[in-house]
């Protein structure tokens, strides 16, 4: 999942301090309870922070000031340039030495780098209510993600694009989307090398910036591989209607969500097909097939939270001493203007030495609707969904209110098979998202989860209320 173990915190004491700063659960209740608790000061603080930053967005002016001709001419002549264009961007290059005949190096052999600085902040607050025997879960707030990185293009070395991002996910530091990507290659289309998500699961491959819900569905959390070091090839074909990708990946180091199998190698392949594409009518029908083969070396493990990151892992197979597994994922999505429907069916076949075949699986389906008329943008080059831009950004200076989206998701996950008692979960989640602009949004969700057959008898029902503020540049 990372290239090496990039860890800015070196001692247990420092880790404890960091954990206390970024993730503050409320004091545990001495007994189990079925009654809702009143929000504590931590949740109110998180809500106040979201309100303050949202107010900043409301007064922000999204209009870019045009550059003067003299500024543009100076920038064109400058070998180094840092400027603002919907984010902090830069350009670095080495001007070739001049001779009497002109530049010593032809322009097509010159070397330069362009890039954009990326920053993402997600602040969450969560409140839980448990019942029917499930142990009490403390409410709290956290910095769900803090990502800093850079991405752009390198002219030279085959002209690859590059990305390098470091993020703090909850309390876990990790490298994410750190790679080199060469495109336009014969036969294979593209070559991607580094630390990134293997081609598996539509929801997992969609950026955490662009997903409809705050967290991936329970089956995606259990089976999707997360970030891993590897290499992949692939390209869109047939006028962008079909995409294919194939990759080989190594073990995971630190895992935020997803399959937590350690010391593993895996081959992942994905094919998507746009059955229907009508850009004018904003109508798309997407289907996909993902297949993964895992060599686990006695470390296979699936687990999942109840679609709320501050909640503990309530479903867990434990470490399975098996040699490998095969995973299959069927994807489907339908977009009809402001309405969209998306679903995935995931299954894992595990060969238990000296025993029977283990079967774990799950599925989710969700529907969403933009009350303000926007449409989920589809990226046909990758077969995933991209960022939403409101038709009118919210501003107290004008008449825009941003975009409003409502969504409902049903999910199911079964990690119980033969002697493995990982548990079964059924869940429903409702979401309301307010996109103030293409960079700022807030989300509110309510979820109800039923946990059954979990190891240790920790069964019962869980309700959660959660709020997220997000800014992304």
Phi-psi region of 53 (alpha: psi -120 to 50; beta: other; left: phi over 0): alpha
pLDDT at 237 over 90: yes
Token output for 473: 């540049």
Token output for 114: 């362009």
DSSP E strand boundaries for 280-401: 283-295, 303-304, 315-316, 324-336, 339-351, 357-370, 378-379, 384-385
CB atoms within 10 A of CB 355: 12
- Phi and psi (nearest 5°) for 55? -65, -40
CATH code for the domain in which residue 150 is found: 2.40.160.10
Q: Is 472 within the bounds of a domain?
A: no
What is the residue whose two structure tokens read 């000061």? 41
How high is the pLDDT of residue 96? 55
pLDDT band at 20 (very low <50, low <70, confident <90, very high): very low
Q: Give per-residue pLDDT as tens, 277-325.
A: 999 999 999 999 999 999 877 788 899 999 999 999 999 998 888 878 9
Q: Across-strand partners of 209?
A: none
Q: Is 247 within the bounds of a domain?
A: yes
Q: Which residues contact 8 (CB under 8 A, 6 or more apart)?
A: 173
Q: Give per-residue pLDDT as tens, 102-111.
A: 555 555 556 7
- Give the residue from 428, 383, 377, 379 showing the smallest Cα distance to 405: 377
Token output for 430: 């409702």
Q: Is 364 within the bounds of a domain?
A: yes
- Give the residue from 339, 401, 349 showing the smallest Cα distance to 373: 339
- Give the residue from 403, 412, 314 showing the smallest Cα distance to 366: 412
The single-letter DSSP state of residue 457 is G
- Give the residue from 473, 394, 386 showing the smallest Cα distance to 435: 394
Q: Is 197 within the bounds of a domain?
A: yes
Q: Is 471 within the bounds of a domain?
A: no
The overall average pLDDT reported for the chain is: 82
How high is the pLDDT of residue 254? 61
Q: Give per-residue pLDDT as tens, 146-180.
A: 999 999 999 877 889 999 999 887 777 888 899 99
Q: CA-to-CA distance for 355 and 233, rounded, in angstroms?
A: 36
As a whole number, mean pLDDT of residues 241-267 equals: 82
Helix, strand, or coil here: 221?
helix
How high is the pLDDT of residue 252? 67
As a whole number, mean pLDDT of residues 179-199 equals: 94
How high is the pLDDT of residue 168? 86
Contact at 8 Å (CB) between 286 and 277?
no
How high is the pLDDT of residue 30? 42
Token output for 34: 């079925």
Q: Give the residue, 218 or 323, on which the prediction is more confident.
A: 218
Q: Which domain holds residue 362?
A: 82-98+106-122+144-388+405-421
Strand pairing class (189-196; 228-237) = antiparallel
Residue ranges of the alpha helices (H) in 32-153?
41-59, 69-77
Q: CA-to-CA distance for 243 and 239, rounded, in angstroms?
A: 10
pLDDT above 90: percentage of residues in the chain: 59
Q: Across-strand partners of 472?
A: 120
Q: CA-to-CA distance for 130 and 89, rounded, in angstroms?
A: 47
How high is the pLDDT of residue 464? 97
Q: Is 45 within the bounds of a domain?
A: no
How high is the pLDDT of residue 190? 96
Q: Is 24 within the bounds of a domain?
A: no
The total number of structural domains that make up the chain: 1
Q: Give the residue, 456 or 189, on which the prediction is more confident.
A: 189
Q: Is 73 within the bounds of a domain?
A: no
């Amino acid at each position: 999942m990372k290239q090496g173990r990039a860890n800015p915190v070196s001692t247990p004491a420092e880790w404890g301090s960091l954990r206390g700063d970024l993730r503050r659960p409320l004091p545990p209740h001495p007994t189990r309870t079925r009654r809702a608790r009143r929000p504590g000061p931590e949740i109110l603080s998180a809500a106040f922070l979201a309100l303050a930053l949202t107010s900043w967005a409301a007064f922000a002016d999204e209009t870019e000031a045009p550059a003067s001709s003299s500024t543009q001419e100076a920038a064109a002549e400058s070998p180094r340039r840092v400027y603002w264009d919907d984010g902090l961007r830069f350009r670095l290059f080495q001007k070739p030495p001049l001779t009497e005949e002109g530049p010593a190096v032809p322009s097509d052999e010159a070397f330069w780098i362009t890039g954009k600085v990326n920053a993402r902040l997600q602040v969450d607050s969560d409140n839980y209510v448990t019942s029917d025997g499930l142990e009490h879960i403390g409410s709290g707030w956290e910095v769900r993600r803090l990502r800093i990185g850079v991405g752009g293009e390198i002219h030279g070395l085959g002209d690859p694009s590059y990305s390098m991002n470091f993020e703090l996910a909850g309390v876990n530091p990790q490298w994410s989307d750190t790679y080199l990507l060469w495109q336009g290659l014969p036969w294979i289309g593209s070559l991607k090398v580094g630390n990134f998500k293997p081609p598996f699961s539509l929801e997992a491959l969609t950026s955490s910036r662009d997903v409809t819900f705050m967290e991936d569905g329970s089956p995606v959390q259990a089976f999707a591989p997360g970030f891993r070091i590897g290499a992949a090839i692939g390209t869109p074909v047939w006028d962008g209607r079909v995409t294919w990708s194939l990759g080989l990946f190594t073990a995971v180091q630190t895992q935020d969500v997803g399959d937590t199998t350690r010391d593993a190698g895996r081959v992942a392949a994905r094919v998507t097909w746009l059955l229907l594409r009508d850009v004018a009518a904003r109508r798309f029908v997407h289907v996909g097939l993902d297949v993964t083969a895992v060599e686990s070396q006695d470390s296979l493990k699936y687990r999942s939270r109840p679609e709320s990151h501050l909640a503990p892992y309530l479903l867990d197979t434990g470490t399975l001493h098996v040699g490998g597994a095969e995973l299959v994922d069927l994807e489907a999505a339908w977009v009809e203007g402001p309405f969209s429907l998306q679903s995935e069916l995931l299954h894992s076949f595990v060969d238990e030495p000296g025993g029977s075949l283990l079967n774990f699986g799950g599925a989710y389906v969700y529907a969403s609707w933009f009350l303000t008329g926007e449409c989920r943008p589809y990226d046909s080059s990758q077969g995933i969904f991209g960022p939403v831009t409101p038709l009118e950004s919210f501003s107290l200076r004008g008449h825009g209110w941003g975009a409003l989206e409502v969504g409902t998701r049903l999910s199911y996950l079964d990690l119980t098979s033969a002697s493995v008692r990982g548990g079964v979960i059924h869940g429903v989640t409702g979401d309301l998202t307010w996109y103030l602009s293409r960079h700022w949004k807030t989300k509110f969700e309510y979820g109800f989860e039923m946990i059954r057959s979990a190891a240790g008898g920790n069964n019962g029902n869980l309700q959660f209320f959660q709020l997220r503020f997000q800014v992304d540049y």
